[in-house]
Amino acid sequence: MVVATAQRSPREPKYYLVKRHLLELIETLPPGSLVPTERVLTVELGTSRTTVRQALSELVGEGRLVRRQGSGTYVAEPKISWPLQMTSFTQQASANGYSVSTTLLDAARQRAGDSVAARLAIKPSAGVFCVERLRLVDETPMAVETSYLSATRFPGLIGHLRRENSLYKVLADEYGVRPVAADETIETAAASPREAELLNTDTGAPMLVLGRHSFDAAGAPIEWVRSWYRGDRYTFVARLVAPAQ
Ligand code: GLP
């Protein structure tokens, strides 16, 4: 196919035609297959290298292709489906047959400030623990998670998290607190250099950012958490149930 002369609608950019062509090719190949190089595609498709590069980059961002430094571009493995449920990361990964590990990256006590205070229903001058953790499944970094919890309500939390990976287990065992409901938000963001390094991706790569604001049975807020996942690797699945008539 020579894209310079191929049929395309007036609103379709040239790179998109290349992308459609590559998507058709990807459909025919098993995961892990090498795709032709930029140079070969440029010649085969009769277009510019910039056009080919843009099509390839979008497919990498969408998780259809993966680039391996100094080796080439390959058809990606299927994404991992991750149900959105009122459970902990540890419970959910275990229930899906994955082994879980956690690296405590940073943990500090700080002043809540206006926005965290509003979420946790405490004063802006009150203390909160800010805990940053890298979550891994089957030894692959999956998410970077920053959690805020009231320092008054959960004294000694950081010490417990140095000994136990699951925050929800610590909350239940040490404080008798169980999150039973949460508002969960999903947004997109571009990976910062730090997130990119921790999650083995490129700065600017598309990320899915989950925000969880969880509550106990009495309706009191427990945690405010932001979790950064690689957008090219995960599909979040929520079961929606129609309200009772
Ligand atoms: C998920 C949620 C977080 C929650 C965490 C607890 O990742 N998005 O809001 O803090 O689970 O998981 P764990 O008990 O494994 O630390």
pLDDT (mean) for 9-30: 90
The verdict on the CB of residue 90 being under 6 Å from ligand 1 is yes
Alpha-carbon span 54 to 42, nearest angstrom? 12
Atom of ligand 1 nearest to the CA of 147: 10
Q: Is 224 in the pocket of ligand 1 (CB under 6 A)?
A: no
Could you list the beta-strand ranges (E) of 9-139: 65-68, 72-75, 80-83, 100-111, 127-137
Q: Has this prediction a pTM greater than 0.85?
A: yes
Ligand 1 geometric centre to CA of 222 (Å): 12
| Chain segment 78-122, per-residue pLDDT in tens | 998 999 999 999 999 999 899 999 999 999 999 999 999 999 999
At 37-78, the pLDDT tens digits run: 999 999 998 999 999 999 999 999 999 999 988 889 999 999
* Token reading at 190: 């571009």
pLDDT at 143 over 80: yes
How many CB atoms sit inside 10 A of residue 74's CB?
16
Cα–Cα nearest to 177, from 165, 186, 169, 185:
169
* 223 ligand 1 Cβ < 6 A: yes
89 CA to centre of ligand 1 in angstroms:
5
User: Measured from the CB, is residue 177 less than 6 Å from ligand 1?
Assistant: no
> How far, CA to CA in Å, does 223 sit from each of 52, 202, 211, 230?
45, 29, 10, 22
CB contact burial 214-240 (16+ within 10 A = b; e otherwise): bbeeeeebbbbbbbbbbbbbbeeeeee
Query: Residues 136, 101: contact at Cβ < 8 Å?
Result: yes
Predicted local confidence at residue 42, as pLDDT: 93
Q: What's the rounded Cα separation, in Å, for the pair 85 and 78?
A: 22
Ligand 1 lined by 88 (C-beta under 6 Å): yes
Would you say how long the chain is, in residues?
245
Q: How far is the CA of 162 from the centre of ligand 1 (A)?
A: 15
Atom of ligand 1 at shortest range from CA of 93: 15
Q: Is 166 in the pocket of ligand 1 (CB under 6 A)?
A: yes
Residue 4 pLDDT greater than 60, yes or no: no
| Largest interatomic CA distance in the chain | 68
